[in-house]
């Protein structure tokens, strides 16, 4: 059983977007699974799969009269999409990695995709049509040669159809999830088709995509993918929700959400809350850990409330309690517990026992330190049995 709830939010988020497509073809989902999505005749923004990334954009009478009474929910990988609305760009993959401002985020994307464009003309268009992203998208299509062959799609606010996502390679990127016949009041989940999912993943990898998604919203019991069964079997026993999981260059990445229990064996954790369980290796970049065991890796930010840390590096944040047996601490506050080995470079230690290592700065207010070097700061009480003290202004421990 795969315990996944609301894996992807219903808008643009991370590397996936949940989108909606209105049609008159009642069995569109089955046709997509068997024959692939057939691109229609619309080509205002290039021939492709046209959808909206919110349901509200599909619910006006004009949309229903023009396209039909069936709304299908899809998911799309948006790593290589041009995004023209700033509010959506900042939540996207490039929005997390590029250095940009609200005035130049479109140009930064064009440079990232190595597109040839006229800076003056496009800058003028962006200035004139700043609040009309569909105009800027059209200008890029007109002025950038072979644009649709160099990106996977575009995201913008349409003049008539709301918040638009157009995908130029739907046979490789879109996954049907469910459909509604009553304007979104009730949804029927699509029947799983493992062969289709395998084809989508194979196409992504053959195109040198860095993304191989195995976590998909609303995965049902009984639908399993070979990537999970073989390489990430340990995920099947985990209890997590509201999260984005994907594989990037062979590294498992968690972008957001809550992990409630279980074992994490490798990869990178970017954000969220961890309640309990075991972490064995990888990199943690933000969030809150409330209990459990950390085996090895790097903790870059956040707050640790309780538990045991066996090895690795801690770069900043607050440690409130527990036991740390080895590694390096670069900054932050330690409030209570035992640290048996490693390097502390800055911050405050309030209580506990530290047996070996180097302390470069900060304040120690209580406890026992048996060996190492202290370069600066204040020691108020406790016992220190060996090492070097380089700051004469500090209050020396009882025994040195």
Give every CB contact of residue 61 below 8 A, 6+ residues apart in sequence.
none
DSSP label at 82? E
Give the span between the Cα atoms of 301 and 291, in whole angstroms.
16
Alpha-carbon distance of 360 to 203, in angstroms, equals 52
Distance CA(6)–CA(347), nearest Å, equals 39
pLDDT at 23: 81
What is the rounded CA–CA span in Å between residue 268 and residue 246? 10
Q: How far is CA 160 from CA 141, 142, 163, 286, in A?
A: 18, 20, 9, 40
Instruction: Write the CA distances from 65 to 19, 224, 305, integer angstroms.
Output: 20, 38, 56
In angstroms, rounded to a whole number, what is the distance separating the alpha carbons of residues 282 and 295?
Answer: 9
Q: Is there a contact between 195 and 91 (Cβ–Cβ < 8 Å)?
A: no
Spell out the per-residue pLDDT of the chain, length 400, in tens: 222 223 323 344 446 788 898 887 655 655 555 555 556 555 678 888 888 888 988 888 888 887 888 888 888 888 889 999 998 898 887 887 888 888 889 999 999 999 888 888 888 888 887 778 888 888 888 888 888 888 999 999 877 778 899 998 887 788 777 788 888 888 877 655 545 544 444 444 333 222 233 343 333 333 344 545 556 667 666 777 656 666 666 677 787 778 888 888 888 888 888 888 899 888 888 888 888 888 888 888 888 888 888 888 888 888 888 888 888 888 888 888 888 777 877 778 888 788 777 777 778 878 788 877 877 778 777 788 777 777 644 444 444 3
- Report the distance separating Cα 201 and Cα 248, nearest Å: 13
Complete DSSP assignment for 240-288: EES--EEEETTEEEE-SSEEEESEE-SSEE-SSEE-SSEE-SSEE-SSE
Which helix (H) or strand (E) segment holds residue 13: the answer is strand 12-13
The model's pTM is 0.49
Give the chain's largest Cα–Cα span: 85
What string of DSSP letters covers 304-371? E-SSEE-SSEE-SSEE-SSEE-S-EE-SSEE-SSEE-SSEE-SSEE-SSEE-S-EE-SSEE-SSEE-S
What pLDDT is attached to residue 32? Answer: 58
**CA terminus-to-terminus distance, the chain:** 58
Secondary element (H or E) of residue 179: strand 174-180
């Amino acid at each position: 059983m795969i315990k996944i709830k609301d894996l992807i939010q219903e808008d643009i988020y991370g590397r996936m977007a949940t989108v909606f497509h209105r049609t008159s073809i009642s069995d569109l989902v089955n046709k997509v699974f068997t024959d692939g999505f057939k691109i229609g005749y619309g080509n205002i923004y290039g021939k492709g799969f046209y959808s909206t990334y919110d349901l509200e954009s599909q619910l006006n009478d004009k949309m229903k009269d023009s396209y039909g009474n069936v709304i299908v929910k899809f998911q799309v990988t948006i790593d290589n999409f041009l995004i023209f609305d700033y509010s959506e760009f900042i939540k996207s993959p490039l929005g997390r990695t590029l250095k940009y401002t609200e005035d130049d985020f479109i140009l930064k994307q064009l440079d990232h995709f190595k597109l040839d464009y006229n800076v003056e003309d496009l800058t003028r268009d962006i200035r004139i049509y700043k609040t009309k992203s569909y105009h800027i998208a059209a200008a890029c299509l007109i002025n950038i040669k072979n644009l649709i062959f160099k990106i996977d799609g575009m995201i913008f606010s349409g003049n008539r159809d709301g918040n638009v996502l157009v995908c130029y390679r739907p046979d490789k990127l879109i996954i049907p999830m469910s459909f509604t016949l009553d304007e979104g009041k009730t949804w029927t989940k699509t029947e799983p088709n493992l062969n289709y999912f395998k084809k989508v993943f194979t196409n992504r990898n053959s195109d040198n995509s860095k993304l191989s998604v195995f976590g998909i919203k609303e995965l049902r019991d009984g639908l399993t993918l070979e990537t999970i069964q073989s390489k990430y079997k340990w995920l099947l026993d985990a209890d997590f929700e509201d999260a984005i999981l994907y594989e990037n260059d062979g590294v498992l990445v968690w972008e957001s959400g809550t992990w409630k229990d279980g074992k994490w064996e490798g990869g990178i954790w970017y954000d969220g809350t961890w309640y309990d369980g075991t972490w064995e290796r990888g990199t943690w970049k933000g969030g809150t850990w409330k209990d459990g065991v950390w085996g090895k890796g790097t903790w870059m930010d956040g707050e640790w409330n309780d538990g045991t840390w066996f090895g690795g590096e801690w770069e900043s944040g607050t440690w409130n309690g527990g036991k740390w047996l080895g590694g390096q601490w670069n900054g932050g506050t330690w409030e209570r517990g035992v640290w048996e080995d490693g390097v502390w470079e800055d911050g405050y230690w309030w209580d506990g026992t530290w047996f070996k290592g180097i302390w470069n700065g900060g304040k120690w207010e209580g406890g026992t330190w048996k060996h190492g070097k202290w370069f600066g700061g204040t020691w108020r009480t406790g016992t220190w049995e060996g090492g070097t003290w380089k700051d004469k202004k500090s209050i020396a421990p009882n025994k040195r």
